[in-house]
Amino acid sequence: MTYITVPLETGHNRSAFSCGKEILDQYIQKQARQDMKRHLAVVFVLPDESGRIKGYYTLSNDSISRDIVPPGIQKKMPQAYRNLPVSLLGRLAVDNEFQKQGLGEQLLLDALHRCADIAETEIGSMAVVVDPLDKEAILFYEQYGFIFLPTRGRMFIPMKTIKQLF
Ligand X SMILES: CC(C)(COP(=O)(O)OP(=O)(O)OC[C@H]1O[C@@H](n2cnc3c(N)ncnc32)[C@H](O)[C@@H]1OP(=O)(O)O)[C@@H](O)C(=O)NCCC(=O)NCCS
In terms of CB distance, is 66 or 157 closer to ligand X?
157
Alpha helices in 31-142 (DSSP H): 32-37, 71-74, 103-121, 135-142
Closest alpha carbon to 88 in 60, 113, 127: 60
Residue 64 CB contacts under 8 Å (≥ 6 apart), including other chains: 83, 84, 86, 127, 129, 149, 154, 156
Shortest Cβ 145–ligand X spacing (Å): 13
Residue closest to ligand X (Cβ): 104
Catalytic site residue 141? yes
Where on the chain is the footprint of ligand X (CB under 6 A)?
19-21, 24, 91-94, 99-105, 132-133, 136-137, 139-140, 143
CA dihedral sign, ordered 25, 26, 30, 32: negative
- Closer Cβ to ligand X, 93 or 119, answer by number: 93
Catalytic residue among 56, 57, 141, 144: 141
| Calpha distance 56→44 (Å, rounded) | 6
CA angle, residues 49, 53, 55, in degrees to nearest 5: 120
Closest separation between CB of residue 95 and ligand X, Å?
8
Angle, nearest 10°, between helix axes 135-142 and 103-121? 60
CA dihedral 30, 92, 21, 149 (to 10 degrees): -120
**Closest separation in Å from C-beta 160 to ligand X:** 23
Question: Between 58 and 125, whose beta carbon lies closer to ligand X?
Answer: 58
Residue 109 CB, shortest distance to ligand X, in Å, is 9
List, by residue number, the catalytic residues.
141
